[in-house]
Chains A and B, each alone.
Chain A
Amino acid sequence: MAATEALERSDAPKSQSPLDEAWHGLRDTLPFMFGSIPFGLLFGTLATGEGLSALQTMAMSLFVFSGSAQFIAVVLLGAGSGIWVVWFATFVLNLRHLLYAATLVDHVRHLSQAWRFPLAAFLTDETFAVMERRYRTQGGGRNAHWYYIASCAGMYANWQTWTFLGITVGQNYPQVQNWGLEFAMVVTFIGIVVPLLTSMPYLAAAVTAGLVAVIANPLPYKLGLMLAALAGIVVGVVLDIRKRGLDAPVSEQQP
């Protein structure tokens, strides 16, 4: 316990109980849970339509737990692609999670391996966005990992629920794409990114990433996403170094 306290940030907020943290983590993940509803329903419907059994479809959500990779796999299977193509696509598509883990690792370094495993295995785009914002606005805190695990658990339970409903009743809701739920995901990401655009390098990184993502969008396996992210990061770092020199601290300023 003493070790944990020593590692706690000096500017950490008043320590909250695990239950409070978990509740806040779940609450802050809710918009993303709503946003994934159409994708879960759609995945369940599509996968069973492409010849996967209900059990296989459910197993994919349970064990792979990666919406984009699951969609690509189903599309590729439908196109008659081989297993290696699916694996390659999964790998390329999810390389960004390496960046997420590298970004958050300072906040989980003090935890036991028993904690770190689930926090790594269940790290999605959405939980990354939620955690990045939490650490930025509120810092760490002794029980922050409860906030993190609750975000993971919320996304996971939600994904399983809607996959299941997609398999069982999905065919009855062919217009689910038109409900506008998926837009909740987009605006939540916007609400997280805009406050980050505090200086020229960050703005340039966003503009670059957005431009490259649009131009490279037709590339297969969503390669454009990775390309765009890397381009944005490189432009950001180069401008940051030109502005503040090579040996400046990691972050310009923290609110």
Chain B
Amino acid sequence: MSTAVMILGMALINLVIRWPVYLFANHFRFPPIIERALAFVPVAVLTAIIVPTVLYPGDGTKLDISWNNPALLASLVACAVSYFAKNLFATIGIGVAAFLLLRWLLPV
């Protein structure tokens, strides 16, 4: 019972966060300074998701900035591919391939 309440509550909380901006979209606009800040949301949030994922491999408790971290090396490869080739699918393909190869090559 209490688990059902918990799940329902979580669902409601998510809705309360995600819905209002679209629901009231016609009735307000953000001030210009906020709109300029929003332009930085993708870069800031996605980077904040990626970097710890890469630098805290495994169970996420230990920082690993070393050449033995295959995720770190493969991410650098992916950055280079994205920068030079400017192609998303090449970035994904080469990035994943580099990760699998490096993980196989590097000592655990």
Known contacts A63-B8, A183-B96, A214-B56; 8 additional CB pairs below 8 A are: A63-B10, A191-B82, A205-B40, A205-B43, A236-B37, A237-B33, A237-B37, A250-B35
B contacts, CB < 8 Å to A: 2-11, 13-15, 17-23, 25-26, 30, 32-56, 60, 63, 71, 74-75, 78-79, 82-83, 86, 88, 91-92, 95-96, 99-100, 103
Please give, as numbers and ranges, the residues of chain B lying within 8 Å of A121 by CB-CB distance: 14-15, 18-19
- Tell me the total A-B contact number using a CB cutoff of 8 A: 253
26 contacts between A and B (CB under 8 A): A63-B10, A64-B11, A83-B9, A86-B10, A87-B9, A87-B13, A95-B17, A101-B18, A102-B38, A120-B18, A184-B92, A187-B91, A188-B92, A190-B78, A191-B95, A195-B86, A202-B40, A213-B49, A214-B55, A225-B45, A229-B45, A232-B40, A233-B37, A236-B37, A236-B44, A248-B36
- Determine the main DSSP class of B at the interface with A: helix
Cα A232 to Cα B43 with chains together (Å)? 8
| Inter-subunit contact A209/B17 (CB<8 Å) | no
Nearest residue in B to A255 (C-beta to C-beta)?
Answer: B86
- Residues of B contacting A102 in the complex (Cβ-Cβ under 8 angstroms): 21, 30, 34, 38, 41
**What is the minimal beta-carbon distance from B73 to any residue of chain A, in angstroms?**
12
In the complex, the answer to whether B36 meets A237 with C-beta atoms within 8 Å is yes
Contact at A236–B4, with CB atoms within 8 Å? no
Assembled-state Cα–Cα distance A125/B48 (Å): 12
Q: Contacts A56-B7, A125-B49, A180-B100: A90 and B41 contacting too (C-beta < 8 A)?
A: no
Given the known A-B contacts A121-B15, A192-B88, A229-B41, are A186 and B7 also in contact in the complex, defined by CB atoms under 8 Å?
A: no
- State whether B48 touches A225 (Cβ < 8 A): yes
B82 and A194 form a contact (CB under 8 A):
yes
Total chain A interface residues with beta-carbon distance under 8 A:
87
Q: Does A240 contact B (CB under 8 A)?
A: yes
A105 in complex: contacting residue of B22, B52, B100, CB < 8 Å: B22
Min CB distance B74 to A, Å, is: 7
A23 at interface by CB-CB < 8 Å: no
Closest to B19 in A: A120
Minimum distance in angstroms from B81 CB to a CB of chain A: 8
| Cβ-closest chain A residue relative to B38 | A103
- Of B11, B34, B92, which contacts A191 at CB under 8 A? B92
